[in-house]
Amino acid sequence: MKISVEKGLENISYYLTQKGYEIVPEDSVADAYIYENTPISSIPSANFSPVSSLAENPILLICAKNRSFDEIEMTLKQKAYNKLF
């Protein structure tokens, strides 16, 4: 799984690298993007597959705000958030 991480979240990048995940630059195509302060409308478009193939190649957006390293990793493993309510 290729993961792109917002600049400034190097601690998350380091943690995930230690867990064996592949961290790619923000301008690379990725399977997941972890952000904290970037508005969704400003997330680098290179991370997204073309709209026509989005259903085949979706990207998991993970907001790291108020999430522990373990919660972020669990979201990556499940490829989905836990129950919202």
Please give, one letter per residue, the 3-state secondary structure of 13-56.
HHHHHHCCCEEECCCCCCCEEEECCCCHHHCCHHHCCCHHHCCC
CATH number of the domain located at residue range(s) 2-78 in this protein: 3.40.50
| Across 19-23, 26-30, 81-85, least confident range | 81-85
Residue 10, classed as helix, strand or coil, is helix
CA distance 61 to 51: 16
**For residue 51, pLDDT beyond 50:** no
Q: Which tens digits make up the pLDDT trace of 58-75?
A: 788 899 999 999 999 999
Q: What is the pTM of this model?
A: 0.79
Token code pair at residue 11: 């601690």
Average pLDDT rounded to a whole number, residues 49-63: 65
**For residue 35, pLDDT beyond 80:** yes
